[in-house]
Structure 1
């Protein structure tokens, strides 16, 4: 999970409208490190392309609006190349000309240095994809700025940390039912182990389905806190 799964996260975390690599859902108000805000009608991860793009520049750049029919990411220059890009600028009344109606001027724009890559745009809005990242990538993402789904990222990080413990705990819960000195029915032992492991899975499912903005670590560790003492009691009472 730490080395193999993150490389295929973009291909695995796809919805029904993304089978051919095109996400039909919008990119809604993603904010980059310079506080520019981007909205797009659709994104093609394979081509690094956005459709129907609107960018709101930060205040220190004039708070202008940039519109484009499409935008393609240039990984070498780390910028977005705009197709049909135009910056909507408010013109003071004293500077109005006959061609500028309603105090608005449209200036052509060929590119914009929006700091987020196509993968980061999806990542910042997709809790499903964030759960497939490596621990190192999740730690880097948690410390980044302007992250709208921070609670989901933090929760997924704690779930990632608890997974090895949960697997060992499941083994500790079920093995004592079969390691008994006195003869017993395998069906009875299997039924008891199945009931306890089912309760364990249900608790873990409900706990890890919650997106806790606060106390994420406590919520993620709930199955261990509940069933850890039970496993210790079962193991201590096992007589072989």
Structure 2
């Protein structure tokens, strides 16, 4: 059972590395003034076999304001910067076809005025067999702009724990493989011993039969 489990783990790790599946990762939330920043927005389809078409809209609410303003629209293959405050500063970095799952945009030359809430809205049409289904997904990013980049303590700890987990998992797999090898080797030796005993018993039985025939 343990050997089968370890094999499944190895196969799952191999599949995850070979197949680029969709994963809804949250956007980063801290930008550095004067640099560029990627606003992430991912909405995975629940059924990959269904074809779809989507458009993406980005809205922005500055810090302290009440209303969102429309700043960007993408409808493959065209993109439009709607608000003049972001003129020539936004670029589409999402899916490069109409079946959009990643709706990320890149902000050039971030300023402190870019601090606030960004809302990504994905309008998706799923082309079903008998009808089309409309799905709308909204995601928000609370962006703060700083003068100098800071690595959060939680991010550092998470990175360390990730490497520790990888090392522990590899050691565990090695131990399991060694255990499986020993177990298989012992079973092989036991089978060979049983075969030898069976052959010896058959030889003795054959000898007894021969002795009986000679006595007659």
- Using the size of structure 1 for normalisation, the TM-score is 0.28
Structure ranking higher in strand proportion? 2
Q: Max radius of gyration: which structure?
A: 2
Higher RCO (CA < 8 A, seq sep 6+): 2
**TM-score, normalisation: structure 2:** 0.30
